[in-house]
Amino acid sequence: MLFLLSQCDRLEQRKLSLQSLSSLVHRLPNEIVTKIFTSTCVENNLQCAKVTPLIIAATCARWRELAVSCPKLWSCFDIHLRRENYPPQASARLDIFLQRSKNHCLTLFITYYNRLPLDSNNYFLQQLLQHSDRWQHVTFNVTRFSFENFPGLRAAVLPRLETVKLTHEDINPEDKASTSIRRGCA
């Protein structure tokens, strides 16, 4: 019985020490927590099951509220366009990122390793093109860049576009060529 009482006391002390640690996090101002979130969410591959902003939003009610209310957190992402066989939930993730980024400028990393053009009805391409007026920084990582591979891109309205980077992947992945195009400032 004495042993059980000592175990209870130790557990209570441990509980108090853990509560004091968690209370430090909860005492941080929302601005600092949001700044921490945005600095950790720089690579958001929508094909991955574990995307940082989604994990943050699922942690607790406060973090969810902060994450959902911060468009910058959702405005930078990596998407691999394919002709078919998208990972499950990838379209839902894209929709969430586009919705939660609100009207914030977008930084996109678009990968397409196929010499054949995308179908003009490709859901991912259509969604990205609908938000082309928010594109600010775009990187195309492609086997071969051609406007024909991205139906609708030539007609896209891009008023906020500042940089476009083309990264070319040949058959040999060690032979990379990269080109950057920057819009000049007056």
Residue 132 CB partners (closer than 8 Å, separation 6+): 156, 157, 158
Q: Is the overall model pTM greater than 0.85, yes or no?
A: no
* Alpha-carbon dihedral sign for residues 95, 134, 66, 86: positive
pLDDT of residue 181: 46
Residue 140 CB partners (closer than 8 Å, separation 6+): 110, 112, 164, 165, 166, 167
The C-alpha atoms of residue 85 and residue 100 are separated, in whole angstroms, by 25
**What CA dihedral angle connects 50, 37, 96 and 86, to 10 degrees?**
-30
pLDDT of residue 173: 45
- The structure tokens listed for 69 are 């209310």
> What is the mean pLDDT of each successive set of 10 residues along the chain, which is 186 residues long?
73 67 73 90 83 91 94 93 79 94 96 84 91 96 83 92 85 44 38
